[in-house]
Amino acid sequence: MRALVCHAYGPIESLTLEDVPEPRPAAGEIVVKVGAAGVSFAAMLGIQGKHQNKPPLPFVPGNEIAGEIVALGEGVRDLKVGQRIATGGSRGGFAEYCVTIAANAVPIPESLPYAEATNFPTLYPTAYGALKWKANMQPGEVLLVHGAGGGSGLTAIEVGKAMGAIVIASAGGADKLAAAQEAGADHPVVVLSGPSFAVEVSQRLPTAVLAASPDTRATGLVQAEFRSPYFRLYGSDDVVGVEIGGALKNVIAIAAGVVEGLGLGHNALAALVTRGLAELTRLACAAGGRRETLSGLSGLGDLVLTCTGQLSRNRHVGVELARGRPLAEILAGMKMIAEGVRTTGAALALGGEGALTRRNDPVTVDAYVQGDRTPLSSHVSGYVQSVLVRDNQLVHAGDMILQMVDDDYRALASEAQAQADAARAALAALEAKLFPLATPTPIERREGLGLLECRHTVSNTGARARP
């Protein structure tokens, strides 16, 4: 018979199609002509050598099967040859014939296709055990199912509905959400995000946010239910863009607090926010979000508020870090959660997957300043990450933050300084010709700005000049 054989742990593509001997049943076993085999998560772990039950090499993977019994082992009484069964406790399912334990076989009706039957012995008992034995769910309770478009999610919906629950489903796209609703989900999830400090909302100050869901009816329902004279909700179907913008702006906000705490000025803050928005946009687009979403309330709006508002929790963390306080001490003194602390690691991991470094991606091309090939805010993310893992005071924090400024900006600053020096020399030469009798007062120089103020008193006229 033919079978897919695993000779070395690795990806599923490493399996080889071979001719192997047909199996023989031992006592208490049956041989099944495989009609369908599930390509399950557990099977993938087994092929990679990562499952807790690690089979010795070589082996034929596949533990969820459905098919027809062709042979009975000694002592099998409750099953018969020709009977249709499904089982989740087998091994060797990626073959034409498979041996499995008779006690694990579940008879299935003729009306149930083999491909669908492979889900029954594993997914449905898992959902039932979680909801009945673990959660002790009661009729009328609300069940929230994440990943509702997958096998585990769909069976959880069906079992939950059978137990009398009100099911709310979240899924990663309109097609998956439609499948969840077809399985019986009562309500889809709508994501709310945008520039909104809760205390100002409670004070009925004007606020606008974004409601996002693949289900436009659900979005419209949330807009109608939450709308008020001071609270406006715009609609979107870009759940990915809204969620990434709402989560990762907190990382940039911590960096903004560091800029504020170090006294680096408004220019540095504006540069950070601008380059941070570009980086968030690239990441959201690489994950399937849309560019325009990050230009709206859940991107630019939320970023500006969180990076500049005095009520921002994440900005507060950055300010205190810049003052030298340990992270643990800062968090212990807060009554609310600064989400950006944990999100920083996730943001760096996502960036490390290549979403922010594809130079040929059309989303990223116009996000780079001419001559700039390093995202400015990536330096900030790295800096903030290095600060977050410290328990001691900041060391050379100003020097580290200056890494945000790339070579192009420094070159421009150097060129501007040279031009200012040349202008100052030309001015001095001109003064010598125009005011030969002038008595200069002390020169006031504003360091760092390249500005020069000179006051001259002309002795013969009493007039004053300010070049």
pLDDT in tens, 267-295: 889 888 988 898 889 888 888 889 999 99
C-alpha span between 174 and 215 (Å, rounded): 7
Mark out the alpha helices in 323-465 (DSSP H runs). 327-332, 340-350, 362-365, 376-388, 397-401, 407-434
C-alpha span between 456 and 467 (Å, rounded): 9
Residues forming a β-bridge with 84: 68
Q: What is the DSSP letter of 83?
A: -
DSSP string, 10-64: S-GGG-EEEE-PPP---TTEEEEEEEEE---HHHHHHHHT-SSS-PPSSB-----
- Compare 75 and 465 and report the one with higher pLDDT: 75
CATH number of 2-118: 3.90.180.10
pLDDT at 225 over 60: yes
How confident is residue 147, by pLDDT bands cut at 50, 70 and 90?
Answer: confident
C-alpha span between 408 and 86 (Å, rounded): 66
Mark out the alpha helices in 262-334 (DSSP H runs). 265-286, 291-294, 302-308, 313-322, 327-332
pLDDT for res 262: 85
CATH 3.40.50.300 is held by the domain 123-188:
no
pLDDT in tens, 68-90: 999 999 999 889 999 999 998 77
Instruction: Please state the rounded mean pLDDT for residues 125-141.
Output: 91
Name the percent of the chain lying above pLDDT 90: 35
pLDDT at 345 over 60: yes
C-alpha span between 284 and 356 (Å, rounded): 10
pLDDT at 388 over 80: no
Residues known to be catalytic: 249
What separation, in Å, do the N-terminal and C-terminal C-alpha atoms of the chain show? Answer: 97
pTM, entire model: 0.53
Task: Name the class of domain 238-405.
Answer: mainly alpha
